[in-house]
């Protein structure tokens, strides 16, 4: 995968919480996408990752930044079923959409594999053109995260200003086939 | 229940984790007993209650203070099954024994009822004579908890010094029947 | 003062620490300027303001963002003399330049007055064109601060791309170094 | 000095804050004495030591535990004068009595020397008989501090119960104020 030009892999999802219909990364083209990959029984996710994702959701306008959770269970599968996750999201007052990563016989779920994540929490930033721009494993300072999300928001604004000219070019808006839009 | 003289109610337990055989409050007579009542999806329990109980375990000698967890599930019962609890205890590295409070048709488990707990986390201190001495609901400062546990440890030492004389009296060592010892 | 178009007031400074020669806001035109106004005996400044300013310094390149401290003493003047400040900066390992706000017979120092600060800590963001863009009083989340500093950094990059055209205009905010003012 | 039997050295004090008349360790015999040795520009003292001492003051009854601050300045002497200290105590809302350790030509003040302190913060526990029982350098958990202070409070209660018998002996811990010994 060439991070500079290729769009990120689409999410492989078993089911969604906190959203009315399934989302795709492709359909979010035009907005910055923040993905918080977590496990509900991962202490670092609970203490730092999830609250940080919620702070991103609370500060940036939904029209600029989409925040998604991704439940990437690679251990204790029976203990972190969708039933348990649903209660977890309610108790921790998570309001952004959360996808359950599709299970795989290897034990590591499919999206986790396609993004080559090293563990949880992993925080992923996708720019408005659908390209992977940051993938952090572990705890990251809020100052850094706030800055890097805003960098992509501002780039997007630039892109939109240029958009009229760019849309005449032949290679604009590269994206995968089945969901990509905007 | 007269807190001054009566022993605390015995625990009603479905199963235990982190211990080889079932424990009873009665069998712990002679040691201070600290009970951390929690739910694995209760944010205050995870952030404050459980780590505090572990700090008590780490500081006080096991011969002076017994630390027990009690999983008192009164909501989201399906989400906090023993299978999920077991993974939780492993991920959060809880090393002290944890009992699962016996379920009740009302939804509030039996030990939670007999101690009239108001919710989770609840931290309970039982003195070496088996009497209830403190029952805190919510977050309590470590300084206070450390002081009050030590108060009971020191009282116990006094009691043991007096024990030779007292055992000759007729009313010494009041305790319930089926487990009381020491 | 029209915040949209006028440059911010210049700093009124008694002396500087951590820099070889006096700085002016005017001379920093072209870079984002972050001003942390504090008092060395203000608990909120010590616990939150100063460490946050240092984190800004540590993350953003010096060529993009200038971070300045401003010691705005409006109480206990004898207790917070430059001698005490110098030791404070050393003990707290503050590495960015710090100016001592010029005293005034009213007790409130001059820069504090010209920026109409309400107290300490106050965090001020000045864009690359020298205009006041944010002035926060009290504690602000790192996520917000990181985002808003980056917003101005990115705007600056845009401005620089446009700069060739803009410099031909008669009313562009270019100003000389040491005298630029309202 | 034999810690088991000898009373701790008396404080060498230049001046006091937050108390109407000078205190001595000797005059506090019968109460547990907690001494927080600090410097007002020591980050660990400000962040942890002073707030912890205040929590001890807030929880334990004054009749059981005396809490004293000791300003042991061994660096930046000009920056931490009594004038600066007074403002510091007001801003940080320190309500317990604070002594300024008597200066010495060596730079290390006299009480700091007599207690062989390694730096600041140092937390010292003196039992009700005036003996040194704990001297911690650096950050100590609240749970530990709360427990160890209570240990001495409870020991004191035991001592008082025995006091009637003990006062018949010739060398029992009766003592005058400023020179007291066991």
A89-147 tens-digit pLDDT: 999 999 999 999 999 999 999 999 999 999 999 999 999 999 999 999 999 999 999 99
Answer yes or no: do D90 and C76 touch at CB < 8 A: yes
- Counting one residue from A and one from C, how many pairs have CB atoms under 8 Å apart? 61
Contacts of C153 in chain A (CB under 8 A): 151
Chain A interface, mutation test: which of C49, C56, C60, C142, most A Cβ atoms within 10 Å?
A: C142
Would you say residue C176 lies in a domain? no
Closest listed residue to residue A3, CA positions, set A134, A158, A136, A119:
A134
Q: Nearest 5°: phi and psi at C68? A: -125, 140
D87-117 tens-digit pLDDT: 999 999 999 999 999 999 999 999 999 999 9
Contacts of D154 in chain B (CB under 8 A): 150-151, 154-155, 158
Q: Which residues of A touch B (CB under 8 A)?
A: 41-43, 46-47, 75-76, 78-81, 83-84, 86-88, 90-92
Higher-pLDDT residue of A133, C163: A133
Q: Rounded to whole angstroms, how far apart are CA atoms C81 and C84?
A: 5
Name the closest residue on chain A to residue C158, using Cα atoms: A158
Q: For residue A172, is pLDDT > 90?
A: no
- Number of H helices and E strands in chain C, helices first, is 5, 6
Answer yes or no: do B41 and A87 touch at CB < 8 A: yes
Looking only at the bridges linking them, the beta strands covering D98-101 and D13-17 are antiparallel
Task: Give the CATH number for residue D63.
Answer: 3.40.30.10
Would you say residue A10 lies in a domain? no
Contacts of C87 in chain D (CB under 8 A): 41, 75-76, 78-80
D68 is written with which tokens?
């004293």
Answer yes or no: do C150 and A155 touch at CB < 8 A: no
Answer yes or no: do D142 and B143 touch at CB < 8 A: yes
Q: Rounded to whole angstroms, how far apart are CA atoms B89 and B75?
A: 19
Q: Rounded to whole angstroms, how far apart are CA atoms D122 and A58?
A: 42
**B145: closest CA of chain D, how far (Å):** 7
Name the closest residue on chain A to residue B43, using Cα atoms: A92
Structural domains counted in chain B: 1
Closest listed residue to residue D140, CA positions, set D131, D150, D148:
D148
Residue ranges of chain B whose pLDDT lies below 70: 1-5, 159-182
pLDDT reported for residue C160: 58
Answer yes or no: do B150 and D154 touch at CB < 8 A: yes
Chain D interface, mutation test: which of B147, B149, B151, most D Cβ atoms within 10 Å?
A: B147
Looking only at the bridges linking them, the beta strands covering B122-126 and B32-38 are antiparallel
Higher-pLDDT residue of C71, D173: C71
Contacts of B141 in chain D (CB under 8 A): 55, 59, 142
DSSP state of C26: G
Residue A125, number of CB atoms within 10 A of its CB: 21
pLDDT reported for residue A164: 39
Residue B121, number of CB atoms within 10 A of its CB: 25
Contacts of B154 in chain D (CB under 8 A): 150-151, 154-155, 158
Chain A interface, mutation test: which of C154, C155, C158, C161, most A Cβ atoms within 10 Å?
A: C154
Q: For residue A176, is pLDDT > 80?
A: no
The full DSSP string for chain B is: --TTTSPPPPP-EEEEESSSS---TGGGTTSEEEEEEE-TT-HHIIIIIHHHHHHHHHHS-TTTEEEEEEE---S-GGGG-HHHHHHHHHHTT--S-EEEEPP-TTSS-HHHHHTT--SSSEEEEE-TTS-EEEEEES---HHHHHHHHHHHHHHHHHHHHHHHHHTTSTT-S---TTT---
Answer yes or no: do B91 and A43 touch at CB < 8 A: yes
pLDDT reported for residue B156: 84
Q: How confident is the model at residue C4 (pLDDT cuts 50, 70, 90)?
A: low
Would you say residue C149 lies in a domain? yes
Answer yes or no: do A145 and C146 touch at CB < 8 A: yes
Answer yes or no: do D149 and B147 touch at CB < 8 A: yes
D158 is written with which tokens?
């035991």
Run of H or E including A11: none
Would you say residue B28 lies in a domain? yes
Answer yes or no: do A144 and C147 touch at CB < 8 A: no
Beta strand residue intervals within chain C, DSSP E:
13-17, 32-38, 65-71, 98-101, 122-126, 132-137
pLDDT reported for residue B172: 31
Length of chain A: 182
Q: Determine what percent of chain D falls in helix, strand and coil, rounding each to the nearest 5.
A: 35, 20, 45
Would you say residue D172 lies in a domain? no
Q: Which residues of A touch C (CB under 8 A)?
A: 52, 55-56, 59-60, 141-151, 153-155, 158
Q: Determine what percent of chain A falls in helix, strand and coil, rounding each to the nearest 5.
A: 35, 20, 45
Q: Do chains D and A touch (3 or more CB pairs under 8 A)?
A: no
Q: Nearest 5°: phi and psi at B128? A: -70, -15
Contacts of C88 in chain D (CB under 8 A): 41, 79
Question: Residue D88's domain spans which residues?
Answer: 13-166
pLDDT reported for residue A6: 81
Would you say residue C22 lies in a domain? yes
Q: Rounded to whole angstroms, how far apart are CA atoms A69 and A84?
A: 15
A36-73 tens-digit pLDDT: 999 999 999 999 999 999 999 999 999 999 999 999 99
D115-171 tens-digit pLDDT: 999 999 999 999 999 999 999 999 999 999 999 999 999 998 876 554 433 333 333
Q: For residue C100, is pLDDT > 60?
A: yes
Closest listed residue to residue A145, CA positions, set A131, A124, A129:
A124
Cβ-nearest to D92 among C43, C78, C81: C43
D20-33 tens-digit pLDDT: 899 999 999 999 99
Would you say residue C123 lies in a domain? yes
Contacts of B75 in chain A (CB under 8 A): 87
Would you say residue B9 lies in a domain? no
- ipTM (interface pTM): 0.84
Cβ-nearest to D141 among B55, B147, B148: B55
Answer yes or no: do A141 and C142 touch at CB < 8 A: yes
Which residues make beta-bridge pairs with B67?
B34
Answer yes or no: do C142 and A142 touch at CB < 8 A: yes
Output the pTM of the full model.
0.85
| Residue located via tokens 């470590």 | B142
Q: How confident is the model at residue A156 (pLDDT cuts 50, 70, 90)?
A: confident
| Residue located via tokens 């088996």 | B130
Cβ distance A128 to A32 under 8 Å? yes
Helix (H, G, I), strand (E, B) or coil at C35: strand
pLDDT, average across residues A136-162: 89
């Amino acid at each position: 995968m060439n991070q500079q030009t290729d769009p990120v892999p689409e999410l492989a999802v078993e089911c969604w919480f906190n959203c009315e219909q399934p989302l795709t990364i492709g359909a979010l083209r035009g907005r910055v996408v923040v993905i918080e990959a977590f496990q509900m029984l991962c202490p670092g996710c609970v203490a730092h990752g999830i609250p940080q994702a919620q702070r991103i959701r609370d500060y940036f306008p939904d029209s600029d930044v989409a925040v998604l959770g991704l439940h990437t269970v690679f251990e204790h599968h029976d203990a972190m079923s969708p039933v348990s996750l649903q209660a977890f999201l309610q108790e921790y007052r998570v309001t952004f959409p959360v996808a359950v990563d599709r299970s795989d016989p290897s034990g590591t779920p499919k999206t986790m594999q396609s993004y080559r994540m090293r563990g949880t929490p992993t925080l992923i930033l996708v720019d408005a053109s659908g390209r992977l721009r940051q993938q952090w494993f572990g705890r990251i300072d809020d100052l850094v995260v706030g800055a890097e999300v805003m960098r992509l928001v501002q780039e997007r604004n630039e892109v939109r200003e240029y958009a009229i000219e760019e849309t005449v070019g032949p290679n604009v808006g590269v994206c995968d086939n089945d969901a990509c839009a905007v």
